[in-house]
Amino acid sequence: HKLKPQRPEGRLYIASLDYSCSLFIFAMRLCANISRAQTVPALYVFGDSLVDVENNNYLPLTIVKANFPHNGIDFPSEEATERFSNGKNAADIIAGKLGLPTPLPYLSQTDNVFLKGASFASGGAGVFNTTDEGLIKHTIPMAHQVEHFSTVCQRLENELRSRAAVQKHLAKPLFLLVIGSNDIINHFKLGLYASSEDYTPQQYVTLMVSTLKQQLKGIYDIGGRKFLVFGIAPIGCAPRFRFEDVSNECNEQVNYWAKKYNEKLTQMLALLHLEVNEFCYLYFDAYGIFLDFIQRPESYGFIETKAACCGLGRLRAKLPCTPLALVCSNRNATFFGMCTILQRQPLSYSLKSFSVVPKIMYSP
């Protein structure tokens, strides 16, 4: 039963490469035997700007915020909501597919028990604690997000009155991880980050995956069981990297190492499942899906896949999206919102078939 690309009306699909596909189906068959729950009761989110729903707004020292126009221009409220997007981001969309409200940002309510889930994600965050160094960023790296989750579990234990009750509760939610892009981007910004001098690209992606494995095990040890893990998209095709090329072409070196990271990530996930039998996962092949959008834009209704929708300069990528920046008029037909951030539309397209996830992960 190999997963095939689904293309309703020739436009929308979600699929993985053959190798990832095999892991995907294998893991889900095993997951289906673990739980007989029919619904996902909660969503816990870890990651970066693709899923940050306001945590950065509560960080007093960071400059990485999205609480100003033109962010949120297509959000239902038509105002900036601290999402690095013109509208809903991946966390909003996935929560909606699961029939859940968007998880509250962890930093917004220090006394909340977060029974229905929480978002620990932070725009600019990475797998490594040092990913946001070099500028006044001070975001929440993945390791600290796991620590925040541990704090939530302590509150859950106080609420549910026993550790066993907490473990039972945490066995049912979905744990979403969208992380790694900033680590790759920053490593290739030579001169700004020490990692570019300390590690070869091969060493760097290997260390990324081994570090993320320990972080995943940390979540598992606390109680998480069912995971949706995003691979890295073809970020070498983002406006930030195209801007550096006189022909506006993708940075194939960056794409190459993004692919290598994804390969190592899928291998690690499969091995982790073998090591820890109750660790169940879905892998979202962001690279393959979004590269297809970029290479065949007309098949999905996109007109612009090189320039950002919001920014200044060539490809709107010389300066970032600010209230003074130019904004494209055809936002639904533009792939990138900012220098490296996707618009709402491609995220919605790629997650069109996400409704199969609860049926697979939670089938009897």
For 196-248, how does the pLDDT look when each residue is reduced to its tens digit (9 = 90+)?
Answer: 678 899 999 999 999 999 999 999 999 999 999 999 999 999 998 999 999 99
Q: Render pLDDT for 286-318 as a digit per residue (tens, 0 to 9).
A: 999 899 989 999 988 889 999 988 888 999 888
Instruction: Give the confidence band of 74 by pLDDT, cuts at 50, 70, 90.
Output: confident
Which tokens in the block code for residue 218? 């940390």
What CA–CA distance (Å, rounded) separates 70 from 337? Answer: 10
CB 355 within 8 A of CB 94: no
At residue 96, does pLDDT exceed 50? Answer: yes
Q: 174 by DSSP, 3-state: which?
A: strand
Which tokens in the block code for residue 171? 């066995």
| CATH class (in words) of the domain with range 8-354 | alpha beta
pLDDT: which is higher, 356 or 207: 207
Min mean pLDDT across 27-31, 80-84, 134-138, 243-247 is at: 27-31
What CA–CA distance (Å, rounded) separates 305 from 351? Answer: 19
Instruction: Give the confidence band of 343 by pLDDT, cuts at 50, 70, 90.
Output: low
Other beta carbons within 10 angstroms of residue 198's beta carbon come to 11
Domain ranges across the chain: 8-354
pLDDT at 111: 75
Phi first, then psi, for residue 157 (nearest 5°) are -65, -35
pLDDT at 222: 96
At residue 19, does pLDDT exceed 60? Answer: no
At residue 283, does pLDDT exceed 70? Answer: yes
pLDDT at 138: 79
Average pLDDT over all residues of the chain: 80
Which ranges constitute the DSSP H helices of the chain? 18-32, 90-97, 142-160, 163-170, 181-187, 195-198, 201-222, 239-242, 252-275, 286-295, 344-350, 356-361
pTM of the model: 0.84
At residue 342, does pLDDT exceed 60? Answer: no
